[in-house]
Structure 1
Amino acid sequence: MAVIGVFTLLFTLQHLNAQPVVDAPWGAVEGTTNVTEDWTPYHAFLGIPYAVPPTGARRFKRPQPHPGFKHIFKAQTYGPPCIQILQLTGNNGVTGDEDCLTLNVFTPALLTETKNIPVIVWIHGGGFIVGDAFTFDPSLIVGAEQVIVVTIEYRLGPLGFLSTNDDVSKGNYGLWDQHLALEWVKKNIASFGGDINSITIMGESAGSASVAFQALYPGSKGLFQRTIMQSGSVSSAWAYTRNSLKYARELAHKVNCSPQNDTASMITCLRTIPAKTLTAASWPMGNEPVTASAEFYFVPTIDGEFVKDDPLVLINSPSFLEQVGLQNLDCMVSVVSNEGGLFSYLSQAVDKEFNSSISSSVQNKGFYINTFIPEILELYFGASSPDMTQAVAKVYLPPHSPAVDLQAVMNTLGDAGMVVPATLFARAHAKLTRHLKTGMKTYMYVFDHIPSFIPGHDKGMNHGEDLIYTFGLNKAYMAAMAKQFRNTTFVPDQSEKELSHTLMGLLTDFARYGDPNNAVRFGLNQTWPAFTEPGEHYLLLNTTMSVQSSPFRDRVKLWALKLPRLLHALQNQHHTTNPNLQIIG
């Protein structure tokens, strides 16, 4: 180890001042050579514009490719984050820039002359309304696992997803941004040493849903070979909206662009509003605190092009999935054991904004049954009924319970938002690849670990906490997380470090080989089977690790089978022909 450390240090000292230059089809790019926390050198090429600025007349339109530069582009600082609200992060106001469509490429420095390095494209989360690329420093993954990582910025909130539900402004511009970034990677990453036939797209939460949306877009064929989805999918209750025109009109009213005019006039007016003013007015919409705690308004919508139909319909249509080529991808999905832990954070933000008491009133049995459950059903299915409400209450509430345990609320929200959509995507992929015998694999894991360094932690791992481990217990990210917990110092022990190393290993092994088993072989003492019927095996990831079957069996059965049947009965009862009310089990 000492000899290797000295060699690495000498390499670093010799090359730290020698800035790497890559001559790509886009143009020549000059980056920097840095070192990780453990002194492993890597190259970083930051703030590369992949699209022309989506400003002025280009607002509310698809992005256009950046032509590149004739001179050497100094890719040595991050670009700005896309404009976003700060209310949900505990602050007020808006941050970011409308001219924000950049990406960052991180490569192993010791492999400068090596070609065909596996590539991972990271899509950040944040509910499609907040988030940025530079929060996630992939240097430890790049250095330890010898892969290339690309992180991207994409438009958020109304600038990325406002839709008039017609040809004037179809929406989904943030998804088109991601797609253009993926095209840039496909065209240019070989110049950085990347393997264009080994590209994995990976994301968490809204980033995970984005990965699924990209996989289900027909134009994505050939852009990537594998997908990694952490805590989110296309059918997540918060990941798409059926009310895009309603929210567009409400926003227009807020900023004095008459919503009563035709949509073309409304969009013309909205293009004149300062981007930060527009974003500041985008949350919350209306006066429904329950909805605000579970729904983000400006998110993907059904446009008939990027998102062809209701995601629940798409994911349950084998012919559509075959048409878009899902069977030709390897797929890994994951959730954490307490996905609904996000509710505490969201409800506090909503209570502050509305001067309400959702965080406590939802534990009132009548409120939970008569208000909270129907709202979640409306978001997930687009409809609800008393029978459906009672079916949900029966699964999550103990019999004769006078009050609602907060964990029941968390599980209700977490299942509709993350657990069930992830499981349905895994099932759809596994069935398709088995039926068509393509040889592609589906893997699933559930991260069930309580971080030892977070004081007073709830049961299980909360939504988003897996990111701490995904990026190798990065000190900067840990410090940012600690700040949210009143400046508590996060000090991970050895078992935490080993768990993070295992996670990074299984993710990058999957990206490299389509099989994560090598990374867990010694800790697991058995093979991690692919996720497929009838066993639906998955890895329970913690410091002891084990293989389990049928994740969250009864709760998934409720949302994937029983509720759709009740919905189907409701459809027949009212003689409706709404295509969104199709059985999905």
Structure 2
Amino acid sequence: MRIMGLLQITVLTVIIGSTFAEDSITVTLRHGGVKGTQLTILGKTIEAYLGIPFAEPPIGRLRFQKPQPAKPWSGVLDATNPKSSCMQQGMPGIVNIKGTSEDCLFVNVWTPGRGGPLKSVMVWIHGGGFQFGSSYQDWYNASALVATQDVVVVTLNYRLGAFGFLSAHTSEAPGNVGLYDQSLALQWVRDNVDVFGGNPDEVTLLGESAGSMSIQAHILSPLSEGLFRRAIMMSGTLYCPGVAVESDDMLRRANRFARHAGCATLAKDLATHPDGVLECLRAKPAEELQVHYENFEHRIIKRFLPIHGDEFLPVAPCLAMARGLFKNVDIMGGVTQDEGTFMVIAQPDKRLLEEDLQHIIEEEMETVLHSVMRVWTPEVNSDVWRHYENQVNPSTWKVSYRKAAADYITDNLFKCPHKLLSDRLSSRESSVYSYVFGHRSEMTPLPKWAGASHAGDIFYFFGLPLVYPDQYTDGDREFSKDVMKMACTFAKQGVPELPTGEKWPRYSVEDPVSVYVKPAPPQTYALHRRIKSLKKCRLQKLLLFIKVPTYVTLGITGRYLFYRLFKGIEKLRTTDFYM
């Protein structure tokens, strides 16, 4: 069965197809000369510079440490082809990134030109659960976005998995170095983007999934102050359960990983002998260490992730948000309508991808889907899950059960966290513009039941229907132009512009309105689908705060309230999330 198509990720080995005119061009940065490529796309001449180092290679003694700024180079650096992606695992049939290395801390710059007034800048942070992904993926070809919207786009790599988030509570391995990589890249943008025609005072962060979670980390971090003005957050927040981990918990994971790699024992670990254990881990080849990492824990939510309680994130994210310890930046954020179907597709049993599920029996299906939920969520709460099970139609049990599992993931990881974040940000001075992306291309190889799945909006934000026209319909191409314009008008002026000419309404707790982004003949948009204050989202909010150490004083009372809140819901329909 042909599954992935657009979801099969490959690394961009060339940025120019046969339809592009190509030439080289050189600019001078503070670190030295850089040679890029001048190309023509959609009748517009743009420039692309791939693989500019913003940090020293994090190898040898620098493995697990905070990034060090790149040193100046002599001569002219060749930035006409992609460099290495960061070390990572793969997801069979989903992620297939080649050419990985520890020497991976590069930025890529796409610019419409260096003449005239400085242009707004959009900095892309890729997703991948902090475990995989690369700025060189085909998805992130910014040529159409730059050519049609007259903005400068920067994409970046950051360390992933054990290389990016192992924490030993020491300066030699502080944790969160993947986030420190991003912060250093943003400093590079501030100091260099004007050379490419970009305005360092007009920087908008743009990220999806883990990239969007990273953006919230920068909104909270004192170390990212003044590095950006706006943010577009696609399908990810740190309200997502299990993402921002207590540092002590991460140390326990690191010790288990070190034992798996043969570098620690129960008597000699990172807590008691950090120097020796880290020396052993640094001595291992990167490829060997990556294999150990892939084998020590199969649940992504239990691997190495961002921590709080350090210099980058001093306070637990949900507590920091409650205290108002965040920057007042304007936000455009949203989710896709059917986020959770991606996680069902990503699991290895491809029988679940069939429209009618005729080749899998009910008992097997139930086992597989519960396994999927455990991989992506810290725990499957039986009280919450029961309300999704109650929606299952006995006459179409298998299809309905699959939808219930996908809806559980959608709400738990994406929709409710998005609502919680939007509520909190809009309660201050920030302008929040919310959307729900509901479009599924007729040309997608994904099964119809997947709907508008996780990451499906990326293609349209980057204008891929214009870059690869044979893979999309005419309607997809027009829709992509609209989506790019929405995002880029927000980046330029702080308010997204609707193609209908209507004003995009601001989100607020009192008026929690979202724009439903989906073309409908004749190219109109359903504008005002409201996110309701559902009890299940209030449940998640209460659960988040019960788990914050500062709120332990709630004790039995808090847990009793949580229990009572669940018991008060006899029927909870996931379709109630949007009107």
**Aligned counterpart in structure 2 of residue 300 of structure 1, from 288, 296, 306:** 306
Q: Report SS of the residue matched to 2:202.
A: strand
**1:547 partner letter:** L
Ranges in structure 1 where 5+ consecutive residues have no aligned partner? 1-11, 434-439, 479-489, 578-582
CA contact (8 A) 1:141 1:504 kept: yes
CA contact (8 A) 1:86 1:92 kept: yes
What's 1:35 paired with? 40
CA-CA distance at 1:105 after TM superposition: 0.7
RMSD: 3.4
Q: Report SS of the residue matched to 1:295.
A: helix
Structure 1 residues 94-109: aligned runs within 5 Å: 96-109=100-113
1:511 equivalent to 2:491? Answer yes
CA contact (8 A) 1:90 1:349 kept: no
Structure 1 residues 59-458: aligned runs within 5 Å: 59-89=63-93, 96-109=100-113, 112-135=114-137, 136-165=140-169, 168-237=172-241, 239-242=243-246, 243-260=249-266, 261-263=268-270, 264=274, 265-286=276-297, 292=299, 295=301, 297-318=303-324, 320-321=325-326, 326-327=327-328, 329-348=329-348, 364=366, 378=378, 389-394=382-387, 397-398=390-391, 405-433=401-429, 440-455=430-445, 456-458=447-449
CA–CA distance in 1 between the matches of 2:221 and 2:506? 25
> Using a 3 Å threshold, how does the CA distance of structure 1 residues 362 and 231 change in structure 2: closer, same or farther?
farther
1:230-249, CA deviations, whole angstroms, 9 ceiling, x for partnerless residues? 00012223533343123212
CA–CA distance in 2 between the matches of 1:267 and 1:149? 37
CA-CA distance at 1:572 after TM superposition: 4.5
CA–CA distance in 1 between the matches of 2:105 and 2:546? 44
| Greater mean alpha carbon deviation, residues 340-349 or residues 396-405 | 396-405
> Using a 3 Å threshold, how does the CA distance of structure 1 residues 91 and 425 change in structure 2: closer, same or farther?
closer
1:299-340, CA deviations, whole angstroms, 9 ceiling, x for partnerless residues? 21124221223222222222x22xxxx21x111111000011
CA contact (8 A) 2:319 2:545 kept: no
CA–CA distance in 2 between the matches of 1:295 and 1:146? 39
CA–CA distance in 1 between the matches of 2:141 and 2:374? 40
What's 1:468 paired with? 459
1:501 equivalent to 2:467? Answer no
CA–CA distance in 2 between the matches of 1:56 and 1:534? 53
1:19-78, CA deviations, whole angstroms, 9 ceiling, x for partnerless residues? 332222233222110122x23221011110000010000001000000222322222121
CA-CA distance at 1:571 after TM superposition: 6.8
CA–CA distance in 1 between the matches of 2:93 and 2:532? 30
CA–CA distance in 1 between the matches of 2:350 and 2:245? 19
> Using a 3 Å threshold, how does the CA distance of structure 1 residues 567 and 146 change in structure 2: closer, same or farther?
closer
What's 1:58 paired with? 62
CA contact (8 A) 2:388 2:404 kept: no
CA-CA distance at 1:507 after TM superposition: 0.6
Count of aligned residue pairs for this structure pair: 516
Q: Report SS of the residue matched to 1:134.
A: coil
CA contact (8 A) 1:26 1:69 kept: yes
CA–CA distance in 2 between the matches of 1:115 and 1:475? 26
> Using a 3 Å threshold, how does the CA distance of structure 1 residues 429 and 98 change in structure 2: closer, same or farther?
same
CA–CA distance in 2 between the matches of 1:453 and 1:552? 32
**1:520 partner letter:** P
> Using a 3 Å threshold, how does the CA distance of structure 1 residues 400 and 561 change in structure 2: closer, same or farther?
farther
Ranges in structure 2 where 5+ consecutive residues have no aligned partner? 1-19, 353-358, 560-564, 566-579
What's 2:512 paired with? 536
Q: Report SS of the residue matched to 1:461.
A: coil
CA contact (8 A) 2:32 2:76 kept: yes
* TM-score of the superposed pair, with normalisation by structure 1: 0.80
**2:119 partner letter:** I
